[in-house]
Amino acid sequence: MVLVCVLYSVPSSLLYAIDLGVVLDQNAVYSDSGSDSGFAYEGILIPRLSGLWGDTGSFHVSLGLNYENDPWSFVPELLRADLYWQSGALQFNAGRMLYVDPMGFIAAGLFDGGRLFFDTGAGTFSAGAWYTGLIYKRRINIEMTPKEIALNDTDLDYSNLANTYFAPRRLLAALDWEHHGLGAGENIVGKMGLLGQFDLSGGRLHSQYLLGKLTVPAIGLIFDLGGIFELIQQAGENNSAFAAELGAAWQDHRQRLALLGRYSSEQFLPVSSIAQSQVLSPKLSGISFVSLDYINRLHRTFSVSLSSFYFIRSSSESFPFYNPDGRFLGAEFYGGFYWSPVSDLSLNVRGGAFLPSLGDVAPEANRLWRVDINLVFFLY
């Protein structure tokens, strides 16, 4: 609200355009997935304000009101709230902003801080630093320790707001590089990054990540190859971990077929818990998978998708409540129908199942399944 009041108080000559809007995102789920079985309804109402700031800047502010059943609860939060400024090759972003690491599965979400970009003939370099302890915990899902996993699963208690609302207190810093003109044909995309997270809560779990990724078009396909090396410091001990991905995709103007494999060693710990599928939905820590995805835009307003995953434990420490001798967790199949008759409205119906019977870790375990309906409405 303070930023909004300031923007309305400045001379109109400094503000060339303001865009006001509201987004309503509703999701109804019926599932049998262990502890989260049954019907669940959740939604978020997002008022937003964006516009230009002078000749070289812009701003964006959005709030969120989350609500869900079982029991009914309402959780307000400040979503994106940042300023952007550009001068020649320099760009600067400050406030509560979206950050995603170059690999897409170490850190992703909203963070408080600043980021500087510098465009050169050798690519775009960026440096940023962010703090996590003022953000709603389920917005960035930091679950690097058992204590943090328990915090994320704890319901919000307004009488104990400080200990049930905010994400764990960590400092994240990143140096990234991206180039879209590598190779003789200038069609190879290269990315590199150096990330570090530092525990400010007293738990003393710190980690650093060195990563690189290449995207190479060849023989009618698009190939992705990436790897991450991680150093971990915890309770006076030093460890290392590794993660990698290899993918290939074919696409034309209306359909896409993609094959992807990801591996993570036993001790690999991402900053954010980013679900790797829809039903089993594990984070990439001590687990590997192969997936095949297909999406087809059958009509201007209608698309369908089909996905399959096969999950493998990197060690018996992954999913320790299962058989310690097995490695193959099983397969997941998931599909969806997506309808968007106008740009302001979309209706999505999705569903799938995870089948442990197709593995040797827990072949007698019950299958997990999930069906959800999602409605998104934009009001400008």
If you average pLDDT over residues 140-159, what whole number do you get? 91
In the prediction, which pLDDT does 235 show?
A: 82
Nearest to 325 by CA among 277, 287, 351, 359: 359
- What is the C-alpha to C-alpha distance for residues 359 and 354, in angstroms, rounded to an integer? 11
| pLDDT one-digit tens code per residue, 113-139 | 999 999 998 899 999 999 999 999 999
| H/E stretch holding 149 | helix 146-153
If you average pLDDT over residues 58-81, what whole number do you get? 92
Is residue 6 pLDDT above 70, yes or no? no
The pLDDT mean for the chain works out to 90
Q: Looking up tokens 């990197």, which residue turns up?
A: 314
Of 67-76, 86-95, 172-181, least confident by mean pLDDT is 67-76
pLDDT-based confidence at 99, cuts 50/70/90? very high
If you average pLDDT over residues 198-207, what whole number do you get? 90
If you average pLDDT over residues 216-231, what whole number do you get? 95
Which amino acid does the sequence have at 70? D
Contact status, residue 154 vs residue 142, Cβ threshold 8 Å: no
Is residue 7 pLDDT above 60, yes or no? no
Is residue 203 pLDDT above 80, yes or no? no
| H/E stretch holding 148 | helix 146-153
| pLDDT one-digit tens code per residue, 280-301 | 999 999 999 999 999 999 999 9
Local structure of 33: helix, strand or coil: coil
Is residue 373 pLDDT above 90, yes or no? yes
Is residue 144 pLDDT above 80, yes or no? yes
In the prediction, which pLDDT does 33 show?
A: 72
Share of the chain above pLDDT 90, in %: 75
Is residue 5 pLDDT above 70, yes or no? no
**Residues recorded for the chain:** 380
> How far from 130 is each of 61, 96, 109, 260, 281, CA to CA, in Å?
18, 9, 11, 30, 27
Segment of 33-42, 311-320, 332-341 carrying the highest mean pLDDT: 332-341
If you average pLDDT over residues 226-230, what whole number do you get? 98
If you average pLDDT over residues 27-34, what whole number do you get? 87
Residue 56: Cβ within 10 Å count: 12
Sorted by where each begins, the domain ranges of the chain are 1-87, 275-380
In the prediction, which pLDDT does 23 show?
A: 96
Burial (Cβ within 10 Å: 0-12, 13-18, ≥19) of residue 55: exposed
Is residue 12 pLDDT above 50, yes or no? no
Of 16 and 303, which is predicted with more confidence? 303
If you average pLDDT over residues 186-208, what whole number do you get? 91
Is residue 3 pLDDT above 80, yes or no? no
Share of the chain above pLDDT 70, in %: 92
Burial (Cβ within 10 Å: 0-12, 13-18, ≥19) of residue 270: buried
In the prediction, which pLDDT does 184 show?
A: 63
Residue 215: Cβ within 10 Å count: 18
Local structure of 301: helix, strand or coil: coil
Is residue 9 pLDDT above 80, yes or no? no
